[in-house]
Amino acid sequence: MHLRVLLHRAAPAAAALASRAPAAFAASRRWLGTSAPRHSYAKELFLGRIEQKIVFPFPEVSQDELNEISQFVGTVEKFFNEEVDSQKIDREGKIPDDTLETLRRLGLFGIQVPEEFGGLGLSNTMYARLGEIISLDGSITVTLAAHQAIGLKGIILVGSEEQKTKYLPKLASGEHIAAFCLTEPASGSDAASIRTRATLNEDKTHYILNGTKVWITNGGLATIFTVFAKTEVIDSDGSVKDKITAFIVERDFGGITHGKPEDKLGIRGSNTCEVHFENTRVPVENVLGEVGGGFKVAMNILNSGRFSMGSAVAGMLKKLIEWTADYACTRKQFNRHLSEFGLIQEKFALMAQKAYVMESMSYLTAAMMDRPGFPDCSIEAAMVKVFSSEGAWQCVSEALQILGGSGYMKDYPYERLLRDARILLIFEGTNEILRMFIALTGLQHAGRILTARVNELKRGNVMVIMETIGQKLRDSLGRSVNLGLTGSLGVVHPSLGESANKLEENVYYFGKTVETLLLRFGKTIVEEQLVLKRLANILINLYGMTAVLSRASRAIRIGLRNHDHEVLLANMFCVEAYVQNLFSLSQLDKYAPENMDEQIKKVSQEILEKRAYLCAHPLERTS
């Protein structure tokens, strides 16, 4: 779709900018970065390796592409700043029809739909950039994300050409709105336990769909649903098994009803409700992907969209920093501006650091996904989601602390931002589930590589044992770790050298710890959730360190404005992450005094057994 045409279709305020727009918008036609990497960066960290070519130098876009997206971003930002009434949306629990119509005219319902099907066809990098602006309203962000990041994404990823041709044009224009139907009353994080069923009729022309889905964003607005249901599948051995299949379901197929909109804590303007399917007839040609392959389709959809949360949250935080800084620099207490107090300054440093890290992680991941033949970036995307969602909650809370009573009042946007931010830790995979996914996916990769060595150690191979003992002895004496990030041929700028050395050290010992844990637990490590959580936390820090070192090094080398500020933020984060990683690594030692796993389990077991707080009241007496 041509951007000039798109802008003229928009609201008057947007159309006024059309004369400055380029003739064509071809962001989706350009690949970013260098040649396609062969490995997943995050998975290689589990082996103590840094695959430099994947993450250094930090990816760039061309100046032409940057100019084009900047024109469009300006138009969208003007609309959000001048025409979107977020307070009204939150208060009334509904996005006004005229706002939805302008979103359609701007093409925002088809951001990543390919141009041949009427969408903007944006790359992942440009989608992330646009997400920074859309995030100015949480309800609109969630509505658009549910539509295209998950609702229609399956059609783009695995849909047939016939399915794409039939459905994508109207979805891209916003004439049709999509919803993603996976969660059920008894099935949340455990997607494999869904009970919705699709039964093939006798003529084998239709599936008869029955079941209920809950907490479906856009459930009351959608005309097209991506629905996951159990189907009978004949396995390779001839047995009949229940497996999940994905379907494209039209509301017009009949038998579809929805409940009233849920009254939510935050993102109140987004439509969330139950969706019921009763004897809904779905043509066999509307199977999405393969029969029985629905679980993989669902995971691929969710994995592909998580990365954008980083840029969206960073966009929100940058605006929040502006608002809060203005308050801190004008508000006086004890005859001094709030901005002069050390504890207030600490909060701004925290917010800036979190925004910088999540922004760096998000755009690095987006660039990986944009390369032809890109590797599996599911771990990287999950790490961005976990870090940015928790960073959002922490930073908005700190901003409210700066604002005091004003932050708590509904007359200002801050308390709404806090309520909106809480859902980020829950949807698109809870952070607890994602930490398990991050750790177990990496361990599975490491296990395949290290199996032979681990087996030799278990069998008592003297040579392997002696090699391992020698390695541990050298480590205990404080070996120098050099993975090639610094020095004359290094990819990290000298001003970030110490931080790069910290990253190298953390990566090396992380790899050694992974090997030790595989030897210690074997396959039973899947049950060791406290261990897995620590591994995930370390990996998230390692990826964040990598992203900021790559980005800050580029900023220095090309002379970006305020690059010294970037160096400060990068070095600060790397020092903090390094210390956190050392503590987590020490906790992974079974006999370390820092390891409190058994105490944690005992306390929780005693509480859950009684389903109550057990300690006697402090005023209680025995006589």
Active-site residue list: 428
d(CA 90, CA 85): 9
Phi, psi of 93 (to 5 degrees): 70, 35
d(CA 156, CA 118): 13
For residue 57, the SS3 value is coil
| Contacts of residue 186, Cβ cutoff 8 Å, sequence gap at least 6 | 193, 195
Using alpha carbons, select from 507, 460, 146, 462 the residue that is nearest to residue 302: 146
d(CA 48, CA 432): 24
Using alpha carbons, select from 132, 140, 137, 115 the residue that is nearest to residue 30: 115
Asked if residue 125 lies in contact with residue 194, where contact means CB atoms within 8 angstroms, the answer is: no
In sequence order, the β-bridge partners of residue 224 are: 178, 250
Using alpha carbons, select from 116, 98, 262, 77 the residue that is nearest to residue 183: 262
d(CA 320, CA 88): 19
d(CA 378, CA 301): 10
| Contacts of residue 277, Cβ cutoff 8 Å, sequence gap at least 6 | 196, 209, 210, 211, 212, 213, 227, 249, 255, 256
d(CA 566, CA 334): 33
Using alpha carbons, select from 508, 389, 519 the residue that is nearest to residue 465: 519
Using alpha carbons, select from 179, 344, 164 the residue that is nearest to residue 258: 179
Give the dihedral of Cα atoms 139, 424, 186, 537; nearest 10 deg.
Answer: 170
Q: Write the single-letter amino acid at 165.
A: T
Q: Write the single-letter amino acid at 250.
A: E
- Name the token pair of 83: 């025409």
Contacts 24+ apart (CB under 8 A), 563-567: 566/356, 567/493, 567/495, 567/496
DSSP symbol at 147: I
Q: Write the single-letter amino acid at 205.
A: T
Using alpha carbons, select from 36, 121, 43, 147 the residue that is nearest to residue 382: 43
Rg (CA), the chain: 26
d(CA 588, CA 213): 40
d(CA 149, CA 132): 15
| Contacts of residue 584, Cβ cutoff 8 Å, sequence gap at least 6 | 534, 537, 538
Tell me the residue ranges of DSSP E strands in 305-412.
332-333, 336-337
